[in-house]
Homo-oligomer: A and B are copies of this chain.
Amino acid sequence: MNEVAPAWIAVDWGTSNLRAWAMGADGRVLAEAASDDGMGKLTREGFEPALVRLIGGWLGNGAPVVACGMVGSRQGWCEAPYRAVPCSPVDRAGLVQVPTNDPRLRVSIAPGLKQASPADVMRGEETQIAGALQKMPGYDGVLCLPGTHSKWVHISAGEVVSFQTFMTGEMFALLSEASVLRHGMQGATGWDEAAFDAAVSDALSKPEKLGARLFSLRAEGLIAGLSAAAARARLSGLLIGTELAAARPYWLGQRVTLIGAEKLSAAYARALALQGIEAKRLSATDCTLAGLASLSPQTETTR
């Protein structure tokens, strides 16, 4: 293994995964690493060893680590108290320094954001939002971050004005993998785009019918030969359409940018296009790295 001597280290530490990037002074990624040591399976004492296991080889020259995500939650490594919106997505003054045992480690964690009313919180997405604003200076409009817990975010004058969270991704996972609907979706190959489109439109025009639509996926599989691919695409369309119905004030007549994984963002972009909204798309990883870079001490000294 070649020696890696990064200027700083970027860490995205969520509930399920730990991802790290060795960053050069010029902003290039020198190396990357990932493990499934997510917050969800670690005790407080487990975080430092998990990080050293993953990036110990990068710590020779004492590069600082900047982390975001659930690692900063109350159940995480070290709590980074939420900042209240309206505010900039990240702020170096809000970084929390983590006490460590390994003398090579210098770790800071970015805090999440909270909104008093309606009550809402985010952790990790604020860093992606900061990265997106680095890439689109002066952006005014709406960001949508689809995922386990999708976020819709109003941006104005460089600040997060308001946001709203939908459990769409988690609902899809639970319903498709743990509910009675899984029987009709197992072994789905391919993606039925027509079924997705029809479900999005159906849910947008009658969002109150979601509860009634779900079991029909099972019933049509049993008595009308609905395919696994169509059932899965229709479930996705129903849930995303229901989200769009409730999030309408966020996208109707607005400039919208999607930040997310390739495939999921494509589904949201398609659903929005059906409503006449052409959304720009940014990679979640690129935004995370740009957001963490804006917080790294290295960036501070070279500015």
* Residues of chain A whose beta carbon lies under 8 Å from any beta carbon of chain B: 74, 82, 114-116, 118-121, 149, 164-168, 170-171, 174-175, 178-181, 207-212, 214-216, 218-220, 222-224, 239, 242-243, 245-247
Is there an interface contact between B120 and A210, defined as CB atoms closer than 8 Å? no
Q: Which residues of B contact A243 (CB under 8 A)?
A: 211
Chain B residue nearest in CB terms to A120 = B219
The answer, among B149, B175, B211, for a CB contact under 8 Å with A180, is: B149
Is there an interface contact between B174 and A215, defined as CB atoms closer than 8 Å? no
Is there an interface contact between B167 and A215, defined as CB atoms closer than 8 Å? yes
Given A167-B179, A167-B211, A215-B166, A82 and B116 contact (CB-CB distance below 8 Å):
no
Q: Which residues of B contact A210 (CB under 8 A)?
A: 210, 242, 246
Q: How far is the CA of A181 from the CA of B118 in the complex (A)?
A: 17
Is there an interface contact between B178 and A174, defined as CB atoms closer than 8 Å? yes
Q: How far is the CA of A214 from the CA of B243 in the complex (A)?
A: 12
Is there an interface contact between B168 and A179, defined as CB atoms closer than 8 Å? no
Q: Which residues of B contact A167 (CB under 8 A)?
A: 179-181, 211, 214-215
User: Can you list 20 pairs linking A and B with CB atoms under 8 Å apart?
Assistant: A82-B223, A115-B219, A118-B219, A119-B220, A119-B223, A120-B219, A121-B219, A149-B180, A149-B215, A167-B180, A168-B211, A170-B179, A170-B180, A171-B211, A174-B178, A207-B207, A207-B208, A208-B242, A211-B239, A212-B246
Q: How far is the CA of A226 from the CA of B180 in the complex (A)?
A: 31
Q: How far is the CB of A175 from chain B (nearest CB, A)?
A: 8
The answer, among B178, B180, B208, B222, for a CB contact under 8 Å with A178, is: B178
Q: How far is the CA of A179 from the CA of B169 in the complex (A)?
A: 11
Q: How far is the CB of A100 from chain B (nearest CB, A)?
A: 26
Q: Which residues of B contact A119 (CB under 8 A)?
A: 216, 219-220, 223-224
Q: How far is the CA of A218 from the CA of B15 in the complex (A)?
A: 15
Q: How far is the CB of A158 from chain B (nearest CB, A)?
A: 24
Q: How far is the CA of A211 from the CA of B216 in the complex (A)?
A: 19
Q: How far is the CA of A265 from the CA of B255 in the complex (A)?
A: 47
Chain B residue nearest in CB terms to A212 = B246
Q: How far is the CB of A80 from chain B (nearest CB, A)?
A: 13
Is there an interface contact between B211 and A208, defined as CB atoms closer than 8 Å? no
Q: How far is the CA of A167 from the CA of B214 in the complex (A)?
A: 7
Q: How far is the CA of A218 from the CA of B149 in the complex (A)?
A: 11
Given A167-B180, A223-B82, A118 and B216 contact (CB-CB distance below 8 Å):
yes
Chain B residue nearest in CB terms to A82 = B223
